[in-house]
Amino acid sequence: MSGLFERLRHELKEMQERGVYKQLIHLDSPQDAVVKIDETGAEVVNLCSNNYLGLCNTPEVVAAGRDAYEEFGAGTSSVRFICGTFTLHKKLEQKIASFLGLESALTYVSCWNANTGLTPTFLEDEDALISDELNHASIIDGVRMTKANRKIYKHSDMGELEQALKDTQSARHRFIITDGIFSMEGDICRLPDILELAEKYDAVVAVDDSHATGVLGETGRGTPEHYGLHGKVPVITSTLGKALGGAAGGFTAGPEELTDYLTQRSRPMLFSNALPPATTAHSLAAIEYLERHPERVQKLRDNTAYFREELLEAGFKPVEGDTPIVPIIIGETAEAIRMSRMLLDEGVFVIGFGYPVVPHGTARIRCQISAAHETEHLDAVLDAMKKVGDKLGIV
C-alpha cells in the first residue's frame, strides 16, 4: 500500500493516543434545545449548535423547504449561469438585500464559497487586502488565494489596521475584511472604528456576519444594526447555515456592480451548483419568520445574559462579551476534549475546541446559546458544568 496512507494511519493513531482525535457524534434527531445522541440513545441539552434562533426545526421553515421539493424537485443540476437559477434564488437574494439594507445579494452553496469567491475575484497585484488575524478560516483561505499585497493586523488592533492602511496608500484599491462576531472568541469587531479608518484612507470594508446575522441588533440584522450602522457597511458576507434555518448556503451582499461582477467571474459561482431549491425556500422562510418574530432575537439575548451571569456566579471565567458564543478557556486540547466527554456523560452536548481550530494552549469549551433553550435547559447545563468543573478543579 502507498506510504501516504500508512503515514495518515500513523498520524491518526498518534492523535488518538494524545487525546486530540475528534470523534464525530451522530445525532438521531433534529437540531433543537435537546438532541438525541445516536451512540448512546441519550437525550442531551445541545450547547454547541449555531441554531441561534431555533429555526432549524421551526414548522413554517421546514414546510417551506418541503413545498419547494414539490414545486422544483431536488436540485438545480447545473451551475447558476448555465441553467441552475430558479425564481426562488431571485426571491431569496432580493429578500437578503432588503433585510440588510443593501442593493443586491448573490447566494452560494456556503459562506465558505462566498468568502473564497470574493477577494480573489476582483483584487489584483496592484491592490491591498487587509485582514484581522482571527478571521474565519474561509476568509484566510480567500486571502491566501488573492493576488494582492496582503496585510494581517493583530486582532481588533486599530493601530495596526491604520498602519496597514498607511503602508498601502500607493495601492489601487484597499479592501479590509473582518468577521462581525469572531467565531472562537465571541467578541464583536470594532465596526465604527474600522469604518472611520476606511473612510479616512479610502478603503472598502467587508464584514463576514455569519455568527451575527439573526443574532445582533434589535431585529437580528447583524453587526451593522448592533452599532446603529444598518446598511452602512458596503459588503456583507454571511451564512444561511446558522441562525437562518441552519441547512447550508451563504451569500455576498453589496452594490449591484459587485454582485454582477461576482456573477461573471467568481469561481465558486461559475463552477459549482446553485443552492438546492428546498434550502433556498426554507432560508427565505427563515428570514420572513425572523421579520415577523423579532422577539426570538430578544429571547436569545435574555438567554445569553442569564447564562453568562450564572456561569460567573458558579465560578467559571468565560471570555468576556455579550454574544451567545461563550468560550471557557481550558488550555490543552486533550483537556478540553476530556471535559466535553465528561459533560456529555452529564447530559450536556458541548464541544472542546483545540489546535488547529484555535492556537496551541488556548483550547476551550465553546458554549453556544439559542433562543430554543428554556431556563430549565440552561439550569441543567449549569448544574452539569459545576459538577464537572469541580471534578477537574476548574471552579
Ligand X SMILES: Cc1ncc(COP(=O)(O)O)c(C=O)c1O
CB of 368 to ligand X, least distance (A): 11
Query: Which residues in the 248-267 window bind ligand X by CB under 6 A?
Result: 250
Stretch that binds ligand X, among 61-69, 207-215, 332-340, 356-364 (CB under 6 A): 207-215
DSSP3 helix / strand / coil % (the chain, rounded to 5): 45, 15, 40
Please identify which residue in the block is written with the cell numbers 456561569.
311
Active-site option among 183, 266, 283, 370: 183
CB of 50 to ligand X, least distance (A): 7
What x/- string results for residues 227 through 246 when contact with ligand X is judged by CB under 6 A? ------------x-x-----
Among 55, 111, 258, 284, binds ligand X (CB under 6 A): 111
Annotate 298-308 with b (16+ C-beta within 10 A) or e (fewer): ebbbebbebbb
Contacts 24+ apart (CB under 8 A), 141-149: 141/115, 141/116, 142/115, 142/116, 142/117, 142/118, 142/177, 143/119, 143/177, 145/116, 145/119, 145/120, 146/119, 146/120, 147/120, 147/123, 148/119, 148/123, 148/124, 148/175, 149/125
Stretch that binds ligand X, among 109-117, 119-127, 185-193, 369-377 (CB under 6 A): 109-117
CB of 29 to ligand X, least distance (A): 21
Under the binding rule (CB under 6 A), the answer on residue 208 touching ligand X is yes
Active-site option among 211, 293, 373, 377: 211
Interacting residues of 238 by C-beta distance below 8 A, sequence separation 6+: 111, 114, 208, 209, 210, 212, 213, 222, 250, 251, 253
Under the binding rule (CB under 6 A), the answer on residue 211 touching ligand X is yes
CB of 290 to ligand X, least distance (A): 17
Please identify which residue in the block is written with the cell numbers 473612510.
199
- Retrieve residue 79's grid coordinates: 451551475
Active-site option among 89, 136, 230, 242: 242
CB of 53 to ligand X, least distance (A): 16
Provide the greatest CA pair distance for the chain.
61
Under the binding rule (CB under 6 A), the answer on residue 183 touching ligand X is yes
Residue 210 among the catalytic residues: no
Among 112, 153, 289, 307, binds ligand X (CB under 6 A): 112
Please identify every residue annotated as catalytic: 183, 211, 242
Residue ranges in contact with ligand X by CB under 6 A: 110-112, 115, 136, 138, 179, 183, 208, 210-211, 239, 241, 250
